[in-house]
Amino acid sequence: MAPLLLHTIVFIEGFCSLGAEIIALRRLLPHVGSSIVITAPTIGLFLLALALGYASGARVATWFRATVARNFLIAALLCGLGLSAPVVDALFKGLPTPIAYLLFVGGVLCPIAWLLGQTVPILTNLMKHARTGEASGIALYWSTLGSFLGSLSLSLLVMQWLGVAAAVAICALGLLAGTLLLHGRRKASLILGPLAAVLIVAPNLPQTATADTAYAEYQIAPLDRDGLQDARAFWVNKSLASLIDTAEPPNYTRYIQHLRQILLKDLAYRDRDILVLGAGGFTLSHQEPLNRYTYVDIDPEIRRIAEQHFLRQPANGEFIADDARRFVATTERRFDAVVVDVYSSHTAIPAHLVTREFWTAARRVLKADGVLIANLILDGKLETPYARNLLATIEGVFGRCAVDVLHKGKPLANVEVSCFASSRAAEAHIYIDEKNRADLDMASSH
C-alpha cells in the first residue's frame, strides 16, 4: 500500500473512532445526563473495546486490506444508523434506561471501537520498508493526529454550527470514504458506496423546528393542556423547560409563574438587576418591563433558537454565553436577585453547580439585600439523600432558606428555595423540656 493511502486510512480511523465516542456521549446526554457515573463507564468501555480491537488486529495474518475495508464499512453503518437521533431516542423510549444504555454502548459504540481498533496493527503489516517500531510509531502518529483533530473539529465546529446529526454523518461518510479507498475502483464499490451513503444520511436529516447543538437537543412543539390557549412547549434534552400560550397575559410553566410571584409581588421588585443562570425559554422576563434581566447559559445558540421558534419575538434581557459557575466566580457585577435554573436533562443539574463552592460564588454576586432563588427538581417529600444533602449544602452557605414544594402529589416536584444574602449559616439548637429557650429566642428575634 502506498504510504499516502495508508496514512490517510489510519488518520480516518483516529478521526472517526474518537468522533464516535464524543457523539455517543452527546447522544446520551438527553437521556441519562452527563454526570461522572455516566461518562466514566462509557469512556472505560470504549477504551476496553479499543484494546480488544488492537489484540484482534494483531492476529490478522492475511487479507489485510480487505479486512480493514470490511471493518470500515460495518463501522460506517453502525455509526450512521446507531448514533442517529431516531434510533437512540427509540431505544431509550422503548426500554428501561439501564438496559437501553447497555445496548447502546455495548451494541453500537463498543463494536465501532473494536472494529476500528484493528486498523493500526493490521496496516502496519503493509509498511514493508520500515522497522517494526518505526511502522507502529508512524501509524500511531497519524491515528492520534486524527483523534486530536476529530475531537476538536466535531465538538467545537461541526456540532456548534451544523448540529450533532452533521457530526454523525461526517464520521460515517468518512469511514465509507475509507472503505472505497481501500476497495479501489471495483464495480461493487460503485453500488455499495451510494447505497451505504443513503443509509447513513437518511436518519440524520435535520428535523423541523428542532436544533441539535453541542450542548443540548431542542424541540419546540404544540402542547395540549387544560387552561392553555394554543400553547407551545420548549423541550431541552427531552425535558419541558418552558411553555407559553397566546392568552393575555400569557401562561407559563407553574414554576416560572411562582418565580414571578416571588420577584414581582412578594418582593415587589422594581428597577432591579436580576441574574438568571440557565436561560430556558427566556420566559421569566417575557412581557416584564419592570426590571433588568441578564441571562447566562452555556449554549451560545439558545437565544436564537428560543427567539426564532419559541418566543417568536426578541427575548427581553441581556444574554451572556458562559458557564454559570465561571460567570459568578469571575464577574464584578452585582445583582439584586440570582435565579438558579440550570438543568442539563430531565432532573440533572451539572455536578459542579450543586457544590458549596458554587453556592458561595453565587452569593458573592448578590447585593447586600439580594435574594437567591433556586429551582430544583427533587422528590416531593424531600426524603432522598440527594434532596437532603443538596438543601443542606445551600443552607450551609446561606443559612435558613424558604423551601416551596410545587406539585406535592408527584414523585418529583419543582422545589423553589429562596435564600437572602443578609442571612448567615449558624448552629441550630433543639428545644427540649429541660432547657427550653423558645421564649427567650422569640423575644430576642423581635
Domains of the chain: 3-206 (1.20.1250.20), 217-420 (3.40.50.150)
Asked if the peptide bond before residue 121 counts as cis, ω within 30 degrees of 0, the response is no
Question: Which of 346, 365, 361, 337 has its CA nearest to residue 266?
Answer: 337
Contact 294, 334 (CB under 8 A): no
DSSP letters spanning 218-276: EEEEEE--TT-SSEEEEEETTEEEEEE-SSSSPP--HHHHHHHIIIIIIS---S-EEEE
pLDDT score, position 344: 67
Q: Are 1 and 135 in contact (CB under 8 A)?
A: no
Q: Which residues pair with 417 in a beta bridge?
A: 374, 403
Tell me what pLDDT residue 194 has: 65
From first to last of its 446 residues, the chain has per-residue pLDDT tens of 788 899 999 999 999 999 999 999 999 988 888 888 899 999 999 999 999 999 999 999 999 999 999 999 999 999 999 999 889 989 999 999 999 999 999 999 999 999 999 999 999 888 766 677 787 888 889 999 999 999 999 988 998 888 888 899 999 999 988 998 888 666 555 556 566 667 677 666 665 547 788 888 889 999 988 889 999 999 988 888 899 999 999 999 999 999 999 999 999 999 999 999 999 899 999 999 999 999 999 999 999 999 999 999 999 999 999 999 999 999 999 999 999 999 766 557 888 899 999 999 999 999 999 999 999 989 888 999 999 999 999 999 999 999 999 988 788 889 999 999 998 877 777 888 888 887 787 777 66
Please report the pLDDT score of residue 206 as a whole number: 61
